[in-house]
Amino acid sequence: MSLLSVEQLRVAIRGDDGVQRELVSAISFAIASGQTMGLVGESGCGKSLTAMAILDLLPKPQALRSGGKILFKGDDLAQLSPKALRQIRGHKIAVIFQDPMSALNPVQQIGRQIIEVLKLHFPQQSRAVQRARALELLTEVGIPAPAERLNAYPHQLSGGMRQRVMIAMALACEPELLIADEPTTALDVTIQAQIVRLLKKLQEKNGMAMLFITHDLALVSQLSDHIAVMYAGKIVEYGPAATLFSTPRHPYTQSLLAALPGAGHPPKSPLLSLEGQVPSIENMPAGCRFANRCRFAENICKRSDPVAEVSDDQLESSEQASVACHLWRSISS
Question: Shortest gap between Cβ of 127 and ligand SF4 (angstroms)?
Answer: 58
Question: Shortest gap between Cβ of 112 and ligand SF4 (angstroms)?
Answer: 51
Options 7-15, 148-156, 265-273, 283-291: segment touching ligand SF4 (CB under 6 A): 283-291
Q: Which of 2, 28, 33, 48 binds Mg ion (CB under 5 A)?
A: 48
Residue 262, judged by CB atoms within 10 A of its CB (0-12, 13-18, 19+), counts as exposed
CB atoms within 10 A of CB 61: 8
User: Counting contacts by CB under 6 A, is residue 288 touching ligand SF4?
Assistant: yes
Question: Shortest gap between Cβ of 255 and ligand SF4 (angstroms)?
Answer: 10
Question: Shortest gap between Cβ of 46 and Mg ion (angstroms)?
Answer: 9
Options 31-39, 45-53, 144-152, 320-328: segment touching ligand SF4 (CB under 6 A): 320-328
Pick 7 or 309: Cβ nearer ligand SF4: 309
In sequence order, the 6+-apart residues with CB closer than 8 A to the CB of 98 are 181, 182, 183, 185, 186
User: Counting contacts by CB under 6 A, is residue 233 touching ligand SF4?
Assistant: no
Pick 280 or 299: Cβ nearer ligand SF4: 299
Q: Which of 29, 97, 238, 290 binds ligand SF4 (CB under 6 A)?
A: 290
Cα separation of the two ends of the chain: 33
Options 47-55, 127-135, 147-155, 323-331: segment touching Mg ion (CB under 5 A): 47-55
Q: Which of 150, 291, 308, 321 binds ligand SF4 (CB under 6 A)?
A: 291
- Asked if 265 and 76 touch (Cβ cutoff 8 Å), the reply is no
User: Counting contacts by CB under 6 A, is residue 65 touching ligand SF4?
Assistant: no
Q: Which of 47, 162, 249, 326 binds ligand SF4 (CB under 6 A)?
A: 326
User: Would you tell me the crossing angle of helices 127-140 and 110-121 to the nearest 10 degrees?
Assistant: 120
User: Counting contacts by CB under 6 A, is residue 248 touching ligand SF4?
Assistant: no
User: Counting contacts by CB under 6 A, is residue 251 touching ligand SF4?
Assistant: yes
- Asked if 233 and 282 touch (Cβ cutoff 8 Å), the reply is no
User: Counting contacts by CB under 6 A, is residue 238 touching ligand SF4?
Assistant: no
Considering CB distances under 5 to 8 angstroms, the limit depending on partner class, which of Mg ion, ligand SF4, none binds residue 48?
Answer: Mg ion
Options 14-22, 42-50, 72-80, 101-109: segment touching Mg ion (CB under 5 A): 42-50
Residues within the interface to ligand SF4 (CB under 6 A): 251, 288, 290-291, 294, 296-297, 301, 306, 325-327
